[in-house]
């Protein structure tokens, strides 16, 4: 057995709902593409605190977390390393502006999201839009038999 266990890193992502759609950022750093605002949870920080901090750092928005949506843990979801993310749904106040490691920021409606989404954010957004149309989480996230 290894002296130093290898564990997945913990991250958060935030689906920020604003009038007209959801906020996505264009990443400055690899992996490039459009993504949900989010990032790594700092040691000693709760998931909720990390989500609020990351949203503010990347979008300049003050968010109100509405619900914990789902956790995603596929070992290949992040090409850099194994991460586990918890996705939150949030509303926001303020004027969105790209900051920190966000190169750009835009609001996208369903059916108009960019094709070059980073990580597994295409899957996450697909699940989110199904949920917003009324599909129950138990159906969206049914465990394999």
Q: Is residue 110 part of a domain?
A: yes
Domain count, the chain: 1
Q: Is residue 116 part of a domain?
A: yes
pLDDT score for 2: 60
pLDDT score for 92: 97
Q: Is residue 63 part of a domain?
A: yes
pTM of the predicted protein model:
0.94
CA distances from 60 to 6, 51, 77, 96 (A): 34, 13, 26, 6
Mean pLDDT by 10 residues, the chain (145 residues): 83 96 96 97 98 97 98 96 98 93 95 96 98 97 86
Q: Is residue 89 part of a domain?
A: yes
pLDDT score for 5: 83
| CATH code, domain carrying 50 | 3.90.79.10
Q: Is residue 143 part of a domain?
A: no
CA distance 100 to 60: 9
Containing domain of residue 54, as a range?
9-136
pLDDT score for 144: 81
CA distances from 14 to 1, 7, 42, 119 (A): 36, 23, 16, 14
pLDDT score for 1: 53
């Amino acid at each position: 057995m290894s002296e130093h266990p290898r564990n997945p890193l913990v991250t958060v992502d935030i689906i920020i709902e604003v009038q007209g759609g959801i906020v996505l950022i264009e990443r400055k750093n690899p992996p490039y593409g459009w993504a949900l605002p989010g990032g790594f949870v700092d040691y000693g920080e709760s998931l909720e605190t990390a989500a609020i901090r990351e949203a503010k750092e990347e979008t300049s928005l003050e968010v109100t977390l509405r619900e914990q949506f789902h956790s995603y843990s596929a070992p290949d979801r992040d090409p850099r390393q194994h991460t586990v993310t918890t996705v939150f749904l949030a509303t926001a106040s303020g004027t969105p502006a790209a900051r920190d490691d966000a190169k750009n920021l835009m609001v996208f409606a369903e059916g108009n999201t960019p094709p070059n989404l980073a990580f597994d954010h295409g899957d996450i957004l697909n699940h989110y839009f199904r949920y917003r149309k009324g599909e129950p989480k138990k159906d969206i996230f049914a465990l394999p038999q």
